[in-house]
Amino acid sequence: MTATFNRLWDSRYRVLVLGVLAVGLMAALPNFIDDYYVFLGCEVMIYAIAGLGLTVLMGWTGQIALAHAGFFAIGAYGTAILSADGFPWPVALVLAGLCATASGILVGFPAVRLRGFYLAIATLAFGELVQRLLILFASVTKGNLGFPVDLIDVGIGTTLTLWYVSLVILVIGVVALSQVGRTRLGRMLRAVRDIEVATGALGISASRYKLLAFAISAFIGGIAGGLYGQLVTFLTPPIFSLDLLIVFLIVVYLGGVLRLAGPIVGAVFVVLIVEQLQDLGSWQRLVFGLILVAIIRFMPGGLVSLPSLLRRRQRGSNSTGGGGLLAEPAPVRVVDAIPGGTP
Partner 1 sequence: MTSVLDISGVTVNFGGNRALDEVTLSVREGFTGLIGPNGAGKTTLFNVISGYVSATSGDVVLEGASLRARRPAAIARAGVARTFQTPRMVPDLTVRQNVMLGLDGRRPMARHALEVVAWPTAQRAEGQATQAADDLLRQFELGHLGDVAANSVPLPVQKIVEVARALVSRPRLLLLDEPAAGLAVGDVDRLIGPLKEVAASSHCAVLIIEHDLALVTELCYAIHVLDFGRVIGSGSPDEVLHMDTVLQAYMGAGFAAASS
Instruction: Using CB under 8 A, list all residues that contact partner 1.
Output: 176, 179-180, 183-185, 187-188, 190-191, 193-195, 197-206, 208, 212, 258, 329, 331-334, 337-339, 341-343
190 vs 313, beta carbon nearer partner 1: 190
Task: Please state, as a whole number, how many other Cβ atoms lie within 10 Å of the Cβ of residue 293.
Answer: 10
Residues 111, 120: Cα–Cα separation, whole Å:
9
Between 158 and 205, whose beta carbon lies closer to partner 1?
205
Total residues found in the chain within this entry = 343
Least distance CB 176 / partner 1 (angstroms): 6
Nearer to partner 1, 86 or 329 (CB): 329
Cα of 100 vs its chain's centroid, Å: 16
If you write DSSP's letter for every residue of 145-210 in order, what string do you get? G-EEPPPP-SSS-HHHHHHHHHHHHHHHHHHHHHHHHHSHHHHHHHHHHH-HHHHGGGT--HHHHH
> Shortest approach of partner 1 to residue 328 CB, angstroms?
9
Nearer to partner 1, 80 or 212 (CB): 212
Phi, psi of 331 (to 5 degrees): -70, 150
147 φ, ψ (degrees, to nearest 5) = -115, 115
Q: Shortest approach of partner 1 to residue 311 CB, angstroms?
A: 16
CB of 215 to partner 1, least distance (A): 11
**What's the chain's Rg over C-alpha atoms?**
22
Helices 206-232 and 35-54: angle between axes, nearest 10 degrees: 170
Kindly tell me the sign of the dihedral angle through the C-alpha atoms of 213, 219, 224, 228: positive
What minimum distance in Å lies between the beta carbon of 269 and partner 1? 24
Query: 338 vs 331, 334, 335, CA distance in Å?
Result: 14, 6, 6
Which residue, 198 or 287, has its beta carbon nearer to partner 1?
198
CB of 206 to partner 1, least distance (A): 8
State how far the Cα of 292 lies from the Cα of 122, in Å rounded to an integer.
26
| Residue placing its CB nearer to partner 1 in the complex, 153 or 336 | 336
Q: Minimal distance in Å, beta carbon 342 to partner 1?
A: 5
Smallest separation (angstroms) from partner 1 to the CB of 106: 19
Q: Give the residue with the Cβ less far from partner 1, 176 or 286.
A: 176
Indicate the residue among 25 and 332 with the shorter CB distance to partner 1.
332
Direct distance between the N- and C-terminal alpha carbons of the chain, in angstroms, rounded to an integer: 43
| Spatial separation of the C-alpha atoms in residues 181 and 174, rounded to whole Å | 10
